[in-house]
Structure formats: structure tokens, C-alpha cells
Chains A and B, each alone.
Chain A
Amino acid sequence: MVKMILIAIGAPLVAFAIGLSFMMIKRKIVARIQRRYGPTIIQPIYDVLKLLVKEDNISHGVIFSLGPIIAIAGSILAVFFIPMAGFSMLTGSGDLIALLYIMAIGSLGMALGAGDSANPNASIGISRALTLMFGYDLPLVIIVISVALQYHTTNLSDIVAAQANGNWTLWTLPLSAIVGFVVTYGALGEHPFDIVTAPHEVATGPMVEYGGKHLGFLMISHAFHIYIEIALFVDLFLGGASNILIFYLKMFAVFFIMIMFDEVLPRFKIDDAVRFYWKWPTVVALISLIIVLVK
């Protein structure tokens, strides 16, 4: 019982910590790649704290304020359904398929809030975000199905367990893993799929009207988001981990490689992004799926 409560409180915190640490590392690494010095490593924490304690917060209405809250609530919910370092948590209450939907709750909640701002930039951003989501969802679904078929289960804990002893999905289904990696870019809105927030065009898109504690919450939610996407990738393809350190290392490895590609890529137009996802990743994922089926 106590353990349960501990997990219930601890898991989101750990997830937040991991996500935040990635945010910190990212800025530093990006700066180095761009031959800048970059901000101090704890700059994101400063940012979040500054935003949260701001005295003057602007709201466009109840729904506007609810947006960040639902975003965080949805993210926390998703955290519980992804096995973290040996803890299976709530995977018995919702499997991989459910998780795909649960992961959307946060984004949709935020979209709801952003839409209430009546700012066209926000609306355009949401339009793009949803379109992009539709884009990467197709390959994502295919690889998720491939993995589920590979292990004859949709229970994420079982999938992780089946990859014990280094028998990772990465080795058995390398094509799926590659696609999964590409999909993660889109899911995180990293280059080349950052047209959603594209600050130069739509002034950070959905977040354009957010400021103060609202924006702080959104940043927290983003930290969760990074954790969720990468943890899912690790669980699906890198065999999860039995302790938190290895789990972190695996996630870091994935994230590091992502950033390395990330900053050197240009930005896709939104329709090109969808076309891209529906072309090569989908084809490759289908090939992988057929391989699983034939096996």
C-alpha cells in the first residue's frame, strides 16, 4: 500500500525530473553544436520558476486556464502507463492501444485551452499540431502493431519483460525501431517537425497567448512529454530497464542521438511533413510489419 502511494507520488516526480534534465541538457548541447556557449545548465529551471511566480497572469477564460492543467494531468496519467525501470505501475489497467490515446489527452487539453485564446496564431498552431499528429500517427500505429504482434501481447510490461537478456526489439525489428525513432521527432515537435511552434511564423503557435504560470505549466508539461515519448521508445525497442539508472542512460542515449540530428535539419512545411510521414516511414514500417506477419 505504502509502496503504491510512493510510486504514485514518485513516478511523476521522477518523470518530471528526467524530462527537465533532458531539457537542460538539450539547450547546452544545441549551443555547443551551434558553437555557442549556451545558457547555464539549469536555465530551464529558472525559466519555469520565473514564470510560475509571476504576479500578473493573463487569462482569456476558464477553458484557457484549464488547458495547461489538462495538459499536465494528461501527461501525468500517461506516465503511469509506461513501465519505468521495473515498475509496471498501471499497465494492467490499460495496454499499448489505450496508451496511444492516453498520450493524446494532454495535447488535446492544451489545444482546447489554446483555442480559447481567440488568437489566430494559436489556432493555426493547433491546426498544424493536429495535422502533424495525424501524420506521424500512421507510422507510429504500424510499429506499435508490429511490436505487439512480435510479442503477442499489447501489455507494455509484458513487452518489456519479453526483451529481457538483451533480446531487444531493436535487433529483431530494426526497421520498426528506425521508424519509431523518426516518429519520436514528430511527437516531440523537434526539427524538422517544429512547424507547430515555429516562433518566427506563428509566434510559438498554440502558446502564443500563454504567459506567466500558464506558460510555466506548459513547460512542465513539455518536460513530461519528453519523458513519455522517449520512455515509450525505450520500452518498446530498447528492452526497458530494471533499474532507474540504466533506464536513464538508455533514454539519454536516444535523446542524445536525436539532438545530434535535430539541430542540423531545416523545417518541413506542414503538408510536406505529413507527406513525408506517410511516405517513407510508413512504407518501411509496413515492410517491418509484413516481416512480423510472415514470421
Chain B
Amino acid sequence: MVNLANPILLIAIPLLFVFLIAFSSAFSKSIAKYLPIFAFGLNVVIAIMIIPDVLKNGLVIATTAGFKPPIAIDMVVDRLSLFLAIIASLLGFVVSIYNVFYIDEEPEEKFYALFTLLVAGVIWMIITGDLFNLFVAFEVTSIAAFGLVGFHRDKGAVEAGFKYLVMGSIGGSFLLVGVIMLYAATGTLNIVDIAQKSAELTFQQKFLAYALIFTGLGIEGALFPLNAWLPDAHPAAPSSVSSILSGIMTTAAIYAIFRITNTIFDYNQIYFFLMFFALLTLIFGEVAAFFQKDIKRMLAYSTIGQTGLFFFAFTLHSTNGLQGAFMQIINHSLSKSMLFLIVGGMIMQVGSRNIDDFAGVGRKMKVSAFFLAVGMFSLMGLPPFFGFWSKLKIIFAALQQTNILMVASVVIILLMSVVEGAYFFKLLQAMFFGKPKQDREIKEASLGMLTAVVVLGLILLFVSFYPTPIIDFTHQAASDLMNKNYINLALKLGGL
């Protein structure tokens, strides 16, 4: 019988639904609305069914075409990729519900197809075990995102979409060159296999390939200075798409960098090199966010900042640092996507993206505003929300290495947290206590949209107040990554 706990289903089912949407749109337009919900609902179920296997073995490998990994493409799920996949599926599910009530612009069926494709691509990037397949997944995600960013077809959307497309294409080319260089060096494309075969290469030989891959993924992953498309593209997209873009897509690209760095290019110099990127990303993201007048643009810059933060934690190259990074990823994904969803609902009511117009909205849209506050607090790292635990972990991990550089980094991080607090509180304050400007009737967002928000919010609250399982899980995931269990287990289970 079919073993449903197969990671490949995480990709295959959304893709199936993508084509189903295309097919069904020939007959009925309204079916397309609801198909993504089923797709990602199934995905969530499957992801949850994979959990026991992963917990037992530490790694699950799914083959394609009936061949062992180096011969054919494989999907590899370990703890880290599993939880990212769960988050992605979950976000896909929740945002699909939201979409049903949010998208009211033609051509809807294309939107739903692309949206499903986007999330599928993200999951794909997360669980693939093959380097070229990663490039394909990268392109799937990008293409879907390009189309979705331009969805509104207005001036800003088109400009943002085009910028994103050009930068993304350059990134794709660089990524491909990097992958090909590795292929030229090793003759294989499987990540684990490359890791094995490239072990004898010197660091200098590998470095250019790494730099190209890093650049390609870094463009998608919003690392400074490769992230200039992001503050344009995230606000221009429909809010539900922004939520996926900010919440999980950049994270998935960063994950890919994690994975490749950790398995193939695990050198101390690299981490040192990456730390500068991380800190610059953090600084520029947060500082830029402070100056924004456009609420979605602010959130987008904040995404850059958060990315810098968890990327920094990754570059610490210690179990604790990685654990902090993973916790921060969970925090950021849940909070930021929730924020975008809420803000989307608010923009619908307010009719503007200017922060000044949001004065007093919090009093009218109470549920939304409440969860907005929760999400922002969590992002700022205020207790008792989950962001606090992750920030705590990151700082602890950073200060475990007592050198002046680390202390300086920590100071930067905390200063940037202050900046973050400054702009979030500015917004919250206006929203809850400001005088509403116009007489426009502002109502609470529709029930369906709220459902999505509340689901995410409750999950966030749950992990905030009961973080122990997540902490344990991320700790395991982090030590897996540190001990290179990905390679070891893949070798053991995959029979490479």
C-alpha cells in the first residue's frame, strides 16, 4: 500500500494540485479557490506523518525513479528540513484559507496555481537532496514569485516584479554556474556525494563555487547587499504572497545556504566571512525599516533584519548558535507571515499602506490588532513570546565565544533590536492609541481571513508558552547539523 509518510509527496501533491487547478479552470473558476487548501491540508498531514520516522532514524530519504541517490534525485528530510517543511506546509494551508477571502482580482485561477507552485517550490528547496534539483526548485519558486509579485499589474508591482526578475535570473545563473563547477569537480550532483568527493579539494579550489552558489541563494535569501529587490517586491505582492515570501521563501534560501555550507564547505574561514554578511544584513534591514512610511515595506525590511539575525546565529557555528537560528526561524516564519496577513486585512479596510493612515485602526479591528501586537512582540523578542526564547538563545550562543568581535556583534544585534522596537512600537502606538484620520468605516477583517490569522497566532502563542518541545527539537536538529548527521545518516540509510 502507499506509504504516505513519503517526503516526495510533500512536493508531488501540491504540484498535482497546481495542474489540477489549471485543468479545472477550464471548466469552473470557483473550484480553483479551494484546491490549494486541500493541497496543503494534505501536506500538513503528510508532514506530520513523517515526524515519527524522522525522530526514529534522524533522516528519511525518498528516492525517485527507483534508483539509489547518487544515480537519481533523492529527497532528504532530517529534523531541520522537516520542521521547515512543516512550517511551509502550514503557512501554505493557512494562507490558502486566507486567500479565499482575500483575492478578489482576476485572473484568480492563475493566482492560485502560482501560489500553490510557490509553496511547493519552497518545500522543494527545503527537502531536495540534489544540487541541480535545488537549482530547479529555486527557479520554480522564483518564477512563481515573479508572477505573483506582478499580480496587481500596477506601476509599483510591475517595477518590483521586473527588478526581482532580473536579479533573480542573475542569481539563478550564478547558482547554476556554481553547481556546474561542483559537478565538474566531482562528477556528481547529489549533495552528500559531492560532500564526500570534494573532501580532498582544497578550500581555495572550492571557494569560487561556494561564492557563486552563495550569491545565487543569497539573492533569494535577502542577504545584504543582494537583497535590494526584497523591499520592493514584498510590499508589491498581494499580502498573502508577501506572507509566504517573507515567512518562508527567504528562509528556505537561507536554509539552502545553511545546508550547503554545512555539508560541502564546512570551513571556519567561511563562517567568519559570512558573519559580516549577516551583520550588515541585520543593520541595513533594521535601520531601513525604521525610516519606512509604507507598512508593508517596513515589514519587508524587518524581514531582512530578521534574516540577518538568524543568519548571524548560523555563522556562530556552534550547536547553540544553530539552535538559536532555528528557533528564530520558527519565530520569524510564524510571526512575520501572520503580520503580513493581518496587515493585508488592514490595508483592505484602510485603503492605504501609509503608516499614518493606520492610526486608530487597532481599536476597530481588535482581533487583528491583538495578534499584530503579539507577532510584533515576538519579533522584537519581548517575553513571554517565542522570540524572546530564540533571542536569548542566540545571544547566549554568541557570548559563549568571548572575543571582542562577538561582544561587538552582540552589541550590534541588541542595538538593532532597539531600532526594531522603535519602529514596531511606533506603529503599535499609532494603531492602538492614535486618533483615526479619516471617517472611513473600518470593520474587522472577514471571518475567513481572521481564521487564518488566529490559527497562526494561536500556534505562536502555544509555542511561546510551551517552548520546551521546540527547544528540544531544535537542539536535536542543531546537533545533527553540527555532527554532520546529514551526511553520516544519508550514507548509512541511502547506501551511497
Q: Do the two chains touch directly in the complex (Cβ atoms below 8 Å apart)?
A: no
**Residues on B facing A (Cβ under 8 Å):** none
A interface, CB within 8 angstroms of B: none
